[in-house]
Chain A
């Protein structure tokens, strides 16, 4: 009922405005069209100028009000570079914005039409045009240069001491996998995926490397230790997005992607910095993936080395819980050890192959290579 009344009110308001405008127009015609245009030039010119000045003030005011809510300083090394680039670009574009917008609205007001005046027939000025071709070109070259250098650094191959974590997206959940003590992920195949049995990633249980892989329900990273994510999707597109670390990379079914970075602030440190004791890093999905797209959340913790080791110790391997081994005893542990020895033999003989398509690391092998080096 209330909304119906609101609609009625709006309709009446519109009718009133229309009627008033009609009357004003007839009055204008009576006054003489030229004169009516002249007085509306005056009014509109003034309004345009007021609009831009007021806008500048509101922009200043709103940035002051909302900047505390922008993201806190980046918690990764490359994130600081990105913020720097952002700020440089903001500075340059800000100056251009204020200058051009001001001139635009100022001219509209200053040169508002008047019957007694005459416009200047001004056709061309090549020198002026050259000037405003060359200056933007130089500015852009600088931006491109800085941008390219940082882009290459950010997308470079990860350093040797990197820790690999695999993250797989599905509707509507992120599923991380750690390689465990051996540092090598077990193979996975789409054929083996079975939500019924709980093999959500399609891990090959016959692959010895899979035995110590663990699939936690949150991500833990070690502060100041480079970490590389191998990003996969099981169904539709997702995007691996860590806003506080300035990390984003699409998860594409069939084509694994990767992103490496170095977290620089522990969760505790960040909580202190932003003044929120319950602060937690979050992983989000940034590519529309379906109805619950906005629910694909996973918590991320940046620990000190000790905290991390403590956490890692508590994790049980996926293999043992999948096979029901965690309830049984030493006989299996022996078996596992044996298997681990076998694995080492395998690794030595294994041929290392790196295939890259579009910069995507194709196979797990590259990870094992990095680990074994």
Chain B
């Protein structure tokens, strides 16, 4: 086998050479639409992700308006939402639909496809030193399945009864019974179809990532020399491949329950004036709605790590490059990634402490959940130490990385409350958890995504984004983000439940009108500030300053490719790697404080064991 390998490499090279010589121009469709180039696919994921980010964000604006200003009506809403908001008053069933679709598209379409789809595709071949993914065709299919999923989800917004509305967790029986809420009819069917397509996309992508990382590393690129981004994408892909099929099975069983008279999740139900019966007239029983929750969270929990791990990888890389220091404790960083990845599979039931589960099981899941805090703490301390005595360039990417560490700490710590089932009894399904997961998962992941975009934009488009807009974007975003989610902790500590259309019915929950208004205003400013980014992004694609080959003076090998990187990545041979990915400030020279991975280890240099 070993002798065969070089042959394979040369063959591919020749092929690429041939292509660039004899087929210099692919048709527009092959080049930009049905492209098999991992870089183009990455951009497709990114732009679709941005599209969904705007839609999901707009939805949150609409329901925040309702929560912040419950007594006002906003006539312009009728012109956007039509019958969902007659005379500008949002209807409660569409409030539920909005929070459902907001959650679904942000979790799956923006923070899974938009984040890991973009950066795994862009960086894996470039950073491990490969011409493309292991299977460019499957990779292309992965995007187009995601596209189809997007189309289905988007069309569900135009259904007369509205899209799915049982919350993004789609717990049955509500999601199984069209009688239970208007969104549980066609809207829920669209949701399930869309998710099934999305799962295909995630699996095709994930398998490709794993195979590429394990098999297609360039010469000298041992696993211990991989940048942490790649480690993060590897663990993410493994989590996805192992957990997404479980959601698919849950969806399929739910489809059976919805349309074929089975009762996997249904039992003893009387709804809309009649009891549910089997075809033979007996009461439908024996199913367990809790089973669905187990299946859902068996994906759902790894899913939050699928979202956060790529951001962790990106941030580790950006922090090291811009602090001009090696990432502190590389081995511990890899080890904690693996530990978090493993543990993420055995903590799912901490979402279900108050479903009536056996208390013993609850305590086991508490133990496993709190253990996750240890590798997470290691990562945080290592990031902070990476900054210590650095020579820090505060680029927009770096600012967002620092923001990531900040939100990851703030949101991670509140996990210690929620992971403790005794405390969770009170906090479960209140605004406290809304604050927790938005900070630790949504904000952190979005910050990681911004860091990645600002950092690798020159690699994607050969141009630079405007830094000053980036700075402004960062500070507005972090101030508004904390402005939105920090006060939610207080509302949660006052016991206010989440997913409430209005609070005025309850004496206990009605007291936070001023805070809710403040949150809404902060959210609107924060959302508007994102347009600074969007303008910057699209403007810079065409008119940004031209990038240099290695604008951040980074050591990793993606910066050894030409500025306008063609399909195949390196025009000549793939470079050989001689050292790990973090040799910053190693030599005495302050002009050139980095040694690229492609530089051979000199005779007098000791390469430490990493």
Contacts and interface: CB of A to CB of B under 8 A. Distances in A.
A151 B535 contact: no
A152 B173 contact: no
Contacts of A28: 467-468
Contact of A121 (B382, B405, B531, B585): B585
Contacts of A231: 356
A247 interface: yes
Nearest to A79: B426
Most chain B CB neighbours (cut-off 10 Å) among A62, A133, A150, A288: A288
Contact of A113 (B91, B394, B426, B512): B394
A132 B378 contact: yes
Given A21-B469, A243-B495, A358-B357, A104 B384 contact: yes
Contacts, number: 392
Contacts of B425: 82, 154, 246-248
B173 A236 contact: yes
Given A18-B469, A144-B366, A193-B275, A115 B405 contact: no
A85 B420 contact: yes
Interface in A65-111: 66, 69-71, 79, 81-82, 85-86, 89-90, 92-93, 96-97, 100-101, 103-105, 107-108, 111
Interface in A9-25: 10, 14, 17-18, 20-22, 24-25
Given A117-B391, A144-B366, A252-B356, A104 B406 contact: yes
A137 interface: yes
B224 interface: no
Contact of A62 (B361, B487, B582, B585): B487
Interface string B499-520: 1111101111101100100000
B270 interface: yes
Interface residues of B, number: 136
Contact of B389 (A3, A120, A151, A257): A120
A112 B180 contact: no
A329 interface: no
B393 interface: yes
A372 B513 CA distance: 50
Contacts of A195: 273
B468 A291 contact: no
Given A250-B356, A288-B174, A44 B471 contact: yes
B357 A112 contact: no
B55 to A, nearest CB: 18
B354 interface: yes
Contacts of B389: 111, 119-120, 122
A252 B289 contact: yes
A345 to B, nearest CB: 30
Contact of A235 (B271, B373, B429, B582): B271
A10 B391 CA distance: 37
Contacts of A147: 366, 420-423
A124 B330 contact: yes
A30 interface: no
Contacts of A97: 409-410, 413
Interface string B359-379: 101110011001101100110
B417 interface: yes
29 contacts: A3-B74, A22-B466, A51-B479, A89-B420, A100-B381, A104-B383, A118-B588, A120-B390, A122-B326, A122-B328, A123-B608, A143-B420, A148-B366, A150-B422, A152-B363, A155-B362, A156-B359, A190-B268, A190-B275, A239-B428, A241-B497, A246-B426, A250-B356, A253-B268, A254-B286, A287-B171, A287-B429, A290-B174, A358-B361
